Structure 1
């Protein structure tokens, strides 16, 4: 896994990755009393009201596959060894305006190719799992709910 792409946390997104390392899926929200809207990706200013006040709200970690692809061929050698694998966009169940990119795997420690691509469907229910991929990075991935 040494050559897999790892997240680079900027100032706005660092809390997302810190919460993921603790096993929590949180999204940024406007903390202005009159707004409160969720936003992703994280940013310093609310795109709805312009407030610079924000907080991180915990989500259920559940969602549905909104879209997916099986990369052919993988562009990086480290990913070629794990083909066929999937890349998904997940719409969060309790925040449908938020969509996250990830992979569907069979469990937190499972490789990217651990789920048969034939099992993937648009609308399939998924649940977040947290996959430590380096001492400094934990990725949010997804498992199919039965």
Structure 2
């Protein structure tokens, strides 16, 4: 396992614990409202469309498209120096919600808006796995 000490680790909360548990199992989970079928991310205690408290967790396809991105060339701390340059992107999941993550396994200069991506998990510790996205090789 790569050394991730010094990085900003997420702290699961009551609302996000199931999300992080899914990540530990290498499953990307998001909430779906049982009343109006609205998918939402980030996790909340109620539906952002109809205010129902009947939200449940569903496994996603793990696929989406880049809708915006930036290339980070100066690390925020020494813990991230080895990774620079790296891409921080907004990814619209196939299910609809948008999430922020990194694009990995490609040259940052090749990332484009509209690029199709799929989730891959990076294990930072025994408790925390981080969802990141890699380009989908459509020609394969």
Residue 123 (structure 1) aligns with? 114
2:104 corresponds to which residue? 105
- The equivalent position to 2:28 in structure 1, one of 25, 29, 35, is 25
Deviation at 1:49, TM superposition (A): 1.6
Unaligned runs of 5+ in 1: 107-114
TM-score normalised by L of structure 1: 0.86
* Structure-1 separation of matches of 2:134 and 2:90: 13
**Within 5 A, what are the aligned runs for 1:1-146?**
1-32=4-35, 35-93=36-94, 95-96=95-96, 98-106=97-105, 115-146=106-137
Give RMSD over aligned pairs: 1.2
- Return the offset for 1:72: 3.7
Q: For residues 11 and 121 of structure 1, what CA distance do their matches in structure 2 show?
A: 35
> Contact 2:73 / 2:86 at 8 angstroms: preserved in 1?
no
The alignment of Structure 1 onto Structure 2 pairs a total of residues equal to 134
Which consecutive residues of structure 2, in runs of 5 or more, have no partner in the other structure? none
Q: Deviations over 1:41-86 (max 9, x none)?
A: 1111112222111111111101111111112422222112321111
SS at match of 1:80: helix
TM-score (norm: length of structure 2): 0.89
Secondary structure of the equivalent of 2:74? coil
